[in-house]
């Protein structure tokens, strides 16, 4: 029997000719990732286990992106511990204030992940790199510690769901709408410990930013990973970012999938996930009148340049509604700089929005946009669990940058008015 994209990558990294779903394997790693919240736990386990060296200083990334610039003493201590570890072991890819970005936007931008890589990260949204045709998945901090020391990790080979994409996205519709549509269709456990594999002619309609967003949210359907078939869009993105050689892995024609789901992208409407699960979706036409207090445009899901560009097109020459706090967070320093050079920041500020330094900040209820009791936010982030962005009585509605920006202008969840 043939193998899926994920199974081929895992087989290669395990040094095996083939693998089957459910098989336990030990695979070599191309990158081990941690952030300012998860890395201190991993470092403690690393030291407690008696390790005194890392497997490869170039294949570990430590990104200080959640509570930075440090919001309090505890956050400062966490970053200090990571900084000291990076100094001790001469970690090449250590990113702190001034060079930092949101980890899952930063690593692809820096060319640190390429097609067919095997990547683990002590962050659930590590599945983002599947957009590049890599196998990447989130793990616990103990696995991160072992990965940093040995360069290997244990996996159970996942089964897979194939998403066959056709058609083209409509105006103001993005990858965020597609993945919310899918999660609404299959549920938050609809792909539990499976690989969500995206292929088909419809890929041509999806930019790399669309794909990064969709792969990022595979975990919100319970998936082990999300992965896109490598095409010209992928190769164009990787070109110039790295000189590493890589092999493109494509699924075999006779690969086994638990399900094959056909999706016509031209039928997707702007989609909003209501509290308190990403599966609780409605199209913009079904939303009704919902007053909001805050808008957040950013995160590892939708803080890339094209996301900011879309939001700027919506708000240009207009003003944020009275009583709405609108926060824009570029995902990396480079994105911030590009937005500055191209006038996007001026558009946001003139519209009455505030622009933050790159940070995960409000996404996880960290800082830079916490919700008070009873408040509602439209956010381009990836989770809307109870208390995710603040008080347990607050509400988070997940949406695309276009819908978030349009809602900031009206004070209600709104479609873009052309």
Full-model pTM: 0.95
Per DSSP, the residues of 256-276 read --SEEEEEEGGGPPPEEEPTT
- Chain centre to alpha carbon of residue 19: 27
Question: Mean pLDDT, consecutive 10-residue segments, the chain of 418 residues?
Answer: 95 97 97 97 96 97 95 96 98 96 97 97 96 97 97 97 97 97 96 97 96 98 97 95 93 96 97 96 96 97 97 98 97 97 98 96 91 97 93 97 98 93
62 with 85: CB under 8 angstroms? yes
What is the spatial distance between Cα 106 and Cα 111, in angstroms, rounded to a whole number?
9
DSSP conformation letters of 379-416: ESSS---TTTTB-TT-EEEE--HHHHHHHHHHSB----
Nearest-CA neighbor of 255 among 11, 22, 3?
Answer: 3
Instruction: Return the number of other C-beta atoms located less than 10 Å from residue 50's C-beta.
Output: 7
Domains defined for the chain, CATH in brackets: 5-265 (3.30.499.10), 272-410 (3.30.499.10)
Return the bridge partners of 154, or none. Answer: 26
Q: Which residues pair with 135 in a beta bridge?
A: 118
For residue 240, what pLDDT is reported?
Answer: 87
What is the radius of gyration, based on Cα positions, of the chain? 20
The answer to whether residues 63 and 100 touch, using CB atoms and an 8 Å cutoff, is yes
> Where does residue 374 rank: exposed (0-12), middle (13-18), buried (19+ CB within 10 A)?
exposed
C-alpha 41/C-alpha 98 separation (Å) is: 24
383, 220 contact by CB (below 8 A): yes
Note the pLDDT of residue 418. Answer: 79
Helix (H, G, I), strand (E, B) or coil at 196: strand
């Amino acid at each position: 029997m043939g193998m899926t994209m994920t199974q081929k990558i895992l087989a290669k990294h395990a040094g095996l000719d083939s693998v089957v779903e459910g098989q336990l394997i030990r695979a070599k790693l191309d990158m081990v990732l941690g952030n300012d919240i998860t890395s201190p736990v991993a470092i403690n386990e690393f030291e407690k286990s008696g390790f005194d060296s890392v497997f490869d200083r170039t294949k570990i990334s430590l990104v200080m992106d959640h509570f930075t610039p440090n919001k309090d003493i505890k956050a400062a201590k966490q970053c200090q511990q990571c900084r000291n570890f990076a100094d001790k072991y001469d970690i090449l890819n250590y990113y702190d204030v001034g060079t930092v970005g949101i980890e899952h936007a930063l690593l692809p931008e820096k060319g640190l992940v390429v097609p067919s890589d095997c990547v683990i990260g002590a962050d659930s949204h590590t599945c983002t790199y599947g957009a590049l045709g890599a196998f990447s998945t989130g793990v616990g901090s103990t696995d991160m510690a072992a990965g940093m020391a040995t360069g290997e990790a244990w996996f159970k080979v996942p089964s897979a769901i194939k998403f066959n994409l056709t058609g083209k996205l409509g105006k103001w519709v993005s990858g965020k709408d597609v993945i919310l549509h899918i999660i609404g269709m299959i549920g938050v456990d609809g792909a539990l410990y499976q690989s969500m594999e995206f292929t088909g002619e419809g890929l041509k309609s999806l930019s790399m930013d669309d794909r990064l967003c969709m792969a990022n949210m595979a975990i919100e359907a319970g998936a082990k990973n999300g992965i896109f078939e490598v095409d010209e869009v992928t190769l164009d993105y990787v070109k110039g970012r790295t000189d590493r050689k890589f092999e493109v892995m494509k699924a075999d024609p006779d690969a086994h999938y638990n399900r094959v789901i056909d999706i016509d992208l031209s039928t997707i409407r702007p989609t909003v996930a209501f509290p308190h699960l990403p599966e609780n979706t409605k199209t913009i036409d079904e939303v009704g009148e919902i007053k909001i207090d805050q808008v957040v445009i950013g995160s590892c899901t939708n803080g890339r340049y094209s996301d900011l560009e879309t939001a700027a097109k919506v708000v240009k020459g207009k003003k944020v509604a009275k009583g709405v706090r609108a926060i824009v967070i570029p995902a990396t320093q480079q994105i911030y700089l590009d937005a500055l050079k191209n006038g996007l920041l001026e558009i946001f500020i003139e519209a009455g929005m505030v622009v933050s330094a790159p940070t995960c900040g409000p996404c996880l209820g960290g800082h830079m946009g916490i919700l008070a009791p009873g408040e509602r936010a439209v956010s381009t982030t990836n989770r809307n669990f109870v208390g995710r962005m603040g008080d347990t009585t607050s509400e988070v509605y997940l949406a695309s940058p276009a819908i978030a920006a349009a809602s900031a202008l009206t004070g209600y969840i709104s479609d873009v008015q052309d």
